[in-house]
């Protein structure tokens, strides 16, 4: 990833850089996450699973990416 062609975002509170113009699906791939096992919130709005391929990531976006863990 070329720094000039990357954008700054926040993922689960931490700063990250991903390719400019990438989609949610692309971002998950860059982060090494399995899109089938996570849910994504972008700027406090849910991104529907069906939109992962279409929704583009913008500079400054804040993402929450969650999955199921053990719990009562």
Partner 1 sequence: MNIANSVQSDTWSVAGRTFTSRLIVGTGKYKDFAQNAAAVEASGAEIVTVAVRRVNISDPNQPVLMDYIDPKKITYLPNTAGCFTADDAIRTLRLAREAGGWDLVKLEVLGEAKTLYPDMRETLKATEVLAKEGFAPMVYCSDDPIAAKQLEEAGAVAIMPLGAPIGSGLGLQNQVMIRLIVEGASVPVLVDAGVGTASDASVAMELGCDGVLMNTAIAEAKDPILMARAMKLAVESGRMAYQAGRMQKRRYADPSSPLAGLI
- Using an 8 Å Cβ cutoff, are 59 and 8 in contact? yes
Residue of the chain from 18, 24, 40, 57 that contacts partner 1 (CB under 8 A): 40
- 69 is a site residue for partner 1 (CB under 8 A): yes
CA–CA dist 62, 15 (Å, integer): 9
- 35 is a site residue for partner 1 (CB under 8 A): no
- 72 is a site residue for partner 1 (CB under 8 A): yes
Both tokens of 18, joined, read 């991903």
- 25 is a site residue for partner 1 (CB under 8 A): no
- Using an 8 Å Cβ cutoff, are 32 and 11 in contact? no
- 65 is a site residue for partner 1 (CB under 8 A): yes
């Amino acid at each position: 990833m070329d720094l000039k062609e990357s954008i700054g975002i926040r993922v689960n509170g931490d700063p990250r850089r991903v390719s400019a113009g990438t989609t949610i699906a692309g971002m998950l791939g860059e982060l090494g996450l399995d899109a089938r096992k996570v849910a994504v919130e972008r700027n406090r709005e849910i991104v529907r699973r069906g939109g992962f391929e279409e929704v583009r990531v913008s500079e400054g976006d804040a993402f929450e990416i969650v999955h199921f863990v053990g719990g009562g």
